[in-house]
Structure 1
Amino acid sequence: MSDSVSWASDSNAPNHCLPWSAKLEEAAVNNKDTWCSIPGDLVDQHGVIWLKEPASADRNDLVKRLLGGNYAKPFVVDDGITRRLHFDFRFAQSEMNMDKPNELISAYARKMMAFLLFSAKPRHIIIVGLGGGGLTKFAYRQLPSTRITTVEVNADVIALSDLFGLPRQDSRMNVVHADAADYFATEDAYADVVLLDGCDKIGIAPTFKCTSFYQNLYARLRPHGVLALNLIGKGDQLAAHLALLAEVFSNKLLVADVNGSANRVVFAFKDADFSPDWDKIRSRANQLQIEHGLDFPRFARLLQRSQKRQKY
């Protein structure tokens, strides 16, 4: 690549393109030397690519690594309308609407919130997988009486959280840098709900694909606890994962497809006497829709149908 490429100035760092967040503005100003921007058209993208690199980084080298799929860290693509977290250009791991930064864009993430149909007032939610912080932000703002712990294995993902307006950590919201397998095996932390949304470049994180992981997670759920899992897989891989969950949770599962994607959202229940009262759940869904702005009545219909047709 020619050395004559004209690069965007880092004076246009994240603080200048985030009028909706004074916190982000402050964070970007205080950390100018740790952000590097690349014009999107150099990597066949619209907008700007943000990388957590020194402003003096060799951008020509970064472009080559991005195009070759050899850039090892997560990065952000910002087209002025949406801001997306990527591990490579094939898939977006997380997406944020710049005009509505606290909105859940992903259909699977909205469906994961259907746990509220079964656990309306959780005291503690553990979220595995920070991504762009969509689930963490939504739960933190929509459930003001709930404590939120987010477990993220990748320090580089956590380092990008300022770009997605994650709330400052406080007594209700905490981000833990840890492998979820180690966390559930060693931490004395109990939750009413676990939201499991951990993926690598190709699908669900390999660490989740074993019985001991789910046994440890199960042990950390309180009685009547709920697991909501974003499951990506096809054929034998999907069947094997569902069989693993069915073994640990004694077949107390509900599965909802996500239209237009390969995702499925699986709900697993610790309640030994789990037998949903769909009349009460449909009534609760109407109130939840009013409170949180998501289509809970539709979620309830999908899950009721899944109970009737699915076998594990």
Structure 2
Amino acid sequence: MHKSNFYMVLYVLMLLSLLFSHLSVAKTIHSERSLYRNILVEETGNLRCLKFDEKSSQSSQSCMYINEPKKLVFNYTKLVFSSLLLIEDPKKVLIIGLGGGTLSNTISELYPKAIIENIEIDPAVIKVARDYFNFKESTKVTAKVQDGRIFIKRAALKKQQFDWIILDAFNGDYIPEHLLTKEFFEELKSVLASDGVIAANTFSSSKLYEHESATYNAVFGDFINVSRKNHSNRIILAGNKSTLTQAHINKRVSELTPLLLPYGVNIKAISQMLHFTKNNHDWPENTKVLTDQYSPANLLNF
């Protein structure tokens, strides 16, 4: 081999060695099969993630930075806090779908007087959240093992009301079908305070996009999409009847910026991602509404 070629190969090998030395390999620190799913907890460097499907690299349900547990990881989690542009000082919060407990922990720190109820169908997920993701419980923050829809039905019978309802339930593929129907949204509406807000974590890339939008509109009227261009996540804000003026948004941005900054939430940037559906329906008028009888599972893959 020519001397110059030898040094070139050596140089390339050194660069590759340097590159791979900085790459962290995911390490499984917990694995179990629960009643509902496979549960894995993986660590990649400073990142710890909860997964429900070991075959997919995109199946993380919740993640935390081990050295900065307060800082939020996912874009959608940050977008949920757009809710606070509509409501102030929520007293009763309901979260359906616990994951690692990130939302509950953050809201509890922001509003220590708030009563927060977390509803999770899988007891194994609650245990993993406690053991691996610093999920904090107290007299005001609780986690209950129950199907979200059953909880809502019982809450309605008890005449309970919530200021902020967060829908974040996923089964590994998509949102459970029975938590996406007109009948469920009507039950949900019955437990929402008159000036409360529902924040639903969903996707703009889903083939169910139009059906979901039509269903929310059928129950709650016009709503707000919170999304960023070229990103698949969207948060639907529904239920709140307050007139949201630019002056009010600016005021809330000013108040919330220092509170949300430690969590990595840029509320000013998020405030510019609000897309109002009033006079701007981006789904056909004849779109079928999802119901308990019509919830096409074949559209779930997106």
TM class by shorter chain equals 0.7 to 0.9
CA distance in 2, matches of 1:233, 1:299: 16
Paired position in structure 1 for 2:11:
none
CA distance in 2, matches of 1:93, 1:129: 10
Paired position in structure 1 for 2:154:
186
1:248 pairs with 216, 219, 228, which one?
A: 219
Paired position in structure 2 for 1:206:
177
1:163 pairs with 132, 138, 145, which one?
A: 132
CA drift at 1:297: 1.6
SS at match of 2:25: coil
CA distance in 2, matches of 1:110, 1:181: 25
Deviations 1:18-73 (A, max 9, x none): xxxxxxxxxxxxxxxxxxxxxxxxxxx924213355xxxxxxxx9xxxxxxxx942
SS at match of 1:74: strand
Paired position in structure 2 for 1:113:
81
1:264 pairs with 234, 246, 264, which one?
A: 234
CA distance in 2, matches of 1:241, 1:195: 16
CA drift at 1:291: 1.7
CA contact 2:260–2:267 (8 Å) conserved in 1: no
Gaps of 5+ in 1: 1-44, 54-61, 63-70
Instruction: State the AA in 2 paired with 1:191.
Output: F
Instruction: State the AA in 2 paired with 1:46.
Output: V
Tell me whether 1:140 sits opposite 2:119 in the alignment. no
CA drift at 1:259: 5.1
Structure scoring higher RCO (CA < 8 A, sep ≥ 6) equals 2
SS at match of 1:160: helix
CA drift at 1:96: 0.5
CA contact 1:126–1:148 (8 Å) conserved in 2: yes
CA drift at 1:308: 6.8
Deviations 1:119-165 (A, max 9, x none): 11100110111111111111111211211111111112112012000
Paired position in structure 2 for 1:238:
209
Cα pair distance change 1:210/1:165, threshold 3 Å: same
Paired position in structure 2 for 1:13:
none
Task: Count matched residues.
Answer: 247
Paired position in structure 2 for 1:174:
142
CA distance in 1, matches of 2:207, 2:30: 37
Paired position in structure 2 for 1:49:
28
Paired position in structure 2 for 1:97:
65
CA distance in 1, matches of 2:230, 2:205: 14
Q: CA RMSD in A?
A: 2.1
Instruction: State the AA in 2 paired with 1:85.
Output: L
TM norm structure 2: 0.76
CA drift at 1:112: 0.5
Paired position in structure 2 for 1:279:
247
Gaps of 5+ in 2: 1-23, 284-302
CA contact 1:50–1:76 (8 Å) conserved in 2: yes
Cα pair distance change 1:211/1:308, threshold 3 Å: closer
Paired position in structure 2 for 1:86:
51
CA distance in 2, matches of 1:120, 1:191: 13
CA distance in 2, matches of 1:126, 1:212: 19
CA distance in 1, matches of 2:173, 2:206: 15
Cα pair distance change 1:118/1:111, threshold 3 Å: same
Structure with bigger gyration radius: 2
CA contact 1:214–1:245 (8 Å) conserved in 2: yes
TM norm structure 1: 0.74
Instruction: State the AA in 2 paired with 1:50.
Output: I
CA drift at 1:306: 3.8
